[in-house]
């Protein structure tokens, strides 16, 4: 294999990352205060991505907690409920069975879009939606059946978004029997670009669970 061909292969495609995800003692509906210990590494930096977002994740038996902070913006947020994938915000993929040897999602795979604004009459309220995964063998039976608690604080430099995805919205969520969860995230920003966990949007990360990484739910 020539050096030119090797250089075109994304570096992160050669690795499968397993990330320790710490247990969060907070309760659903309460304040989501995830400290630095809950921060998720930005492996996308190995692909030349600009690190502009601080992403943190915690877990409990009730579900998953998220905190995202973006603070390097100079332009105003652009979020629209009618254009979810073009909006500034966070996308999260979760596979409750952590399967990496298939290229099509199963009923245990989930795709969420979380926006700091764009909802409500004036497009000023934070919002969340669960989307169908393209080419999925079976859609999750939980699609948009349960409320996702999302809050945001918008600043001149960006925003801080917190969210709780309940386990009942994640088909197959069982922290006693499954401590490994397939996971991927992408922060989309019309000004700053993309920040992803590992692989970028040049690969089919929105639909291929083999390109996702692993969260190890540790106590």
pLDDT in tens, 78-136: 999 999 999 999 999 999 999 999 999 999 999 999 999 999 988 899 999 999 999 99
Q: What is residue 97's predicted lDDT score, i.e. its pLDDT? A: 98
User: Is residue 5 one of the residues assigned to a domain?
Assistant: no
CATH number for the domain harbouring residue 41:
2.60.40.1190
Q: Is the Cβ–Cβ distance between 104 and 207 less than 8 Å?
A: yes
Q: Is the Cβ–Cβ distance between 79 and 123 less than 8 Å?
A: yes
Q: What is residue 3's predicted lDDT score, i.e. its pLDDT? A: 47
User: Is residue 136 one of the residues assigned to a domain?
Assistant: yes
User: Is residue 162 one of the residues assigned to a domain?
Assistant: yes
Is a pLDDT exceeding 50 seen at residue 5? no
Lowest mean pLDDT among 39-48, 68-77, 81-90, 152-161: 39-48
User: Is residue 1 one of the residues assigned to a domain?
Assistant: no
For the chain, how many structural domains are there in total?
1
Query: How much of the chain exceeds pLDDT 90, in percent?
Result: 88
Residue 44 corresponds to which tokens in the numbers above?
A: 């996308």
Is a pLDDT exceeding 90 seen at residue 192? yes
Domain range for 33 is 15-218
Is a pLDDT exceeding 50 seen at residue 2? no
What are 165's strand-pairing partners?
64
In angstroms, the CA 207 to CA 106 distance is 10
Q: Is the Cβ–Cβ distance between 188 and 195 less than 8 Å?
A: no
């Amino acid at each position: 294999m020539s050096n030119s061909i090797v250089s075109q292969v994304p570096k992160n495609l050669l690795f499968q990352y397993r990330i320790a995800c710490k247990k969060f003692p907070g309760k659903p509906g309460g304040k989501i205060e995830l400290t630095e210990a809950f921060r998720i590494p930005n492996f996308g930096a190995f692909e030349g991505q600009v690190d502009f977002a601080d992403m943190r994740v915690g877990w409990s038996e009730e579900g998953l907690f998220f905190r995202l902070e973006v603070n390097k913006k100079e332009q105003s947020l652009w979020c629209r409920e009618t254009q979810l994938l073009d909006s500034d915000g966070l996308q999260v993929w979760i596979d409750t069975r952590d399967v990496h040897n298939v290229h099509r999602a199963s009923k245990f795979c989930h795709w969420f879009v979380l926006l700091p604004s764009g909802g409500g009459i004036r497009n000023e309220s934070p919002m969340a939606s669960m989307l169908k995964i393209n080419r999925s063998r079976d859609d999750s039976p939980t699609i948009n059946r349960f409320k996702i608690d999302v809050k945001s604080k918008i600043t001149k430099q960006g925003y801080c978004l917190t969210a709780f995805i309940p386990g009942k919205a994640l088909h197959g969520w069982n922290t006693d029997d499954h401590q490994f969860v397939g996971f991927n995230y992408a922060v989309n920003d019309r000004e700053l670009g993309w920040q992803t966990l590992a692989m970028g949007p040049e690969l089919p990360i929105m639909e291929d669970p083999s390109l996702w990484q692993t969260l190890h739910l540790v106590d």
